[in-house]
Chain A
Amino acid sequence: AQTVTQSQPEMSVQEAETVTLSCTYDTSESDYYLFWYKQPPSRQMILVIRQEAYKQQNATENRFSVNFQKAAKSFSLKISDSQLGDAAMYFCAYRSAQAAGMRFGAGTRLTVKP
């Protein structure tokens, strides 16, 4: 079974600085998708960034980028120029190309200090 591990329960960053959230996963499959979701307090989850496993190029969305290391099964999220609105729980998620449901990590709570 696929598992997703986020080893940092909490992270803190100064406003305007850069922070990296870690995620590793375990799978025997070669075709899959990886996601980072953001869950602000008492608000619904929204997608931050996605990566297809077959793509070698790391995904980038404005201030958010990933470092996808397929061989190491690592998928970290880098947030540049952190803003107060980035404060939230961040979940790393995996979805097999053959299955429907996503597997989520336990999350990392990001605090942004002014």
Chain B
Amino acid sequence: GQQLNQSPQSMFIQEGEDVSMNCTSSSIFNTWLWYKQDPGEGPVLLIALYKAGELTSNGRLTAQFGITRKDSFLNISASIPSDVGIYFCAGGTQGGSNYKLTFGKGTLLTVNP
């Protein structure tokens, strides 16, 4: 089946630093989503991307839908302690019974104040 490779697996950064993480696949996706999960909670949707090449921002977060449709990137600028959590990418395909999202395994972000 489809698989997403999310990297890095974990990051330890200082408050104020910028962060980059990405997801890659050998499969093409028509949709890329980015979620954040706090400990003991469900994932919260951060950004949704529907067009190849699309660049979308949500506050200090910026995500891009790769032009090949096989990858996506998430950047966090000027990190703060509440950015701590696990960030997941998810790729979606459309048409027929291909309804579902394929999730990456997550990037654990730790921010040192």
Asked if A and B are interacting partners, one says no
